[in-house]
Amino acid sequence: MPKIPNSAVNGVITGWGRALPEKVVTNADLAKTLDTSDEWIIERTGIERRHIGGSTASLSIESGRKAIEMSGVDPSTIDALILSTTTPDRTVPATSAAVQHGLGLRCGAFDVNAACSGFVYALVAGHGLLAIGLKRVLIIGTDTLSRITDWTDRNTAILFADGSGAAVLESVDGPGQLLGWDIDADGSLEDLLYAEIGGTLKMEGKEVFRRAVRIMVDSAEKSLAAAGLTSNDITLVAPHQANVRIIEAACKRLNIPMSKVSWVGNESGNTSSASIPLALFEAADTNRLKTGDNVLLVGFGAGMTAASAIIKWKQP
């Protein structure tokens, strides 16, 4: 990916929000109807429980409202809304339309679907909009994977869940937060993980696992190179929360210790578009981040897509 020109208008995150449905489903709950166990799920994935419920619009409105409140911006001054989701509430229109209305915004709104890499795609697209003149962009990553999960399939039902994370991006003159980025896709791998329209997720788990490690490392290395940094410069990683073993394997190859990783998948499972912002903003809310820290966001997903970004944290 190209280096970001020094002259580029850039952005900073000035507010964020998270939303999880109230209903919690534990591994033990799943073991009541599936041939699985709490021990197996924890050992193979790191997931202990997940939140299930809500619609993509309702969760997005909740996280989006928190982000707007935290940033203190007047909602009428938000210039665009980008919603990353793989699970829109309707085929038509884009779910971002309902979210825009629910938040009382008056701006362009569109959906992005890059599966679990989607929030980083939205972050990059949001910076692109700032670079061509917009001042404030709301980006949201939300998925309600429970609606397309086959709850009788132990290969997938133990992984997927619902949630949302949102951020207000505001333009600044000169250098901003984004230091390097990468987006990628390899459509020849689409059959590894897919859901037909109206259907449920089908997955070749082992192969997804193997590829995921490789493409996360590859994408992270491209972003590091674009930013002119090495993995030693990274203070915190907010990776896609698919499986803690995938994250461990990728971080080992990147030479980043797990102590620098924000892992929330134990509490919230794989929430696709929401997983990176949930991990990032959990770290921010628990004082793991300070101004000047270099944060690596990195994800992979159905497609197969990959995306990463390095941001220099600025505590609002």
- Residues marked active site are found at 116, 240, 270
Which of 95, 223, 231, 270 touches ligand ACO by CB under 6 A?
Answer: 270
- How far apart are alpha carbons 269 and 215 in whole angstroms? 21
Residue 294 beta carbon to ligand ACO: minimum distance, rounded to whole angstroms = 25
Decide if 308 contacts 120 (C-beta within 8 A): yes
* 282 φ/ψ sector (left φ>0, alpha ψ -120 to 50, else beta): alpha
Which of 98, 279, 302, 306 touches ligand ACO by CB under 6 A?
Answer: 302
Both tokens of 269, joined, read 């499972």
Closer residue to ligand ACO, CB minimum distance, 103 or 189 = 189
Residue 147 beta carbon to ligand ACO: minimum distance, rounded to whole angstroms = 13
Q: Based on the shown chain and the rule CB under 6 A, indicate whether residue 114 belongs to the binding site for ligand ACO.
A: no
* CA 217 vs CA 68, 213, 252: distances in Å: 33, 6, 10
Cα–chain center distance at 191: 22
Closer residue to ligand ACO, CB minimum distance, 95 or 272 = 272
Which of 209, 248, 253, 316 touches ligand ACO by CB under 6 A?
Answer: 209
Residue 53 beta carbon to ligand ACO: minimum distance, rounded to whole angstroms = 18
Residue 212 beta carbon to ligand ACO: minimum distance, rounded to whole angstroms = 6
Specify the residue for token string 């290395």: 221
- How far apart are alpha carbons 158 and 95 in whole angstroms? 26
Closer residue to ligand ACO, CB minimum distance, 82 or 161 = 161
Contacts with ligand ACO, 231-250, as mask; x by CB under 6 A: -----------xx-------
Give 40-105 as a DSSP string. HHHHHH---EEE--S-HHHHHHHHHHHHHHHHT--GGG--EEEEE-SS-SSSSS-HHHHHHHHTT-
Sites of contact with ligand ACO (CB under 6 A):
36, 40, 44-45, 115-116, 154-155, 158-159, 193, 203, 205-206, 208-209, 212, 242-243, 270, 272, 301-302
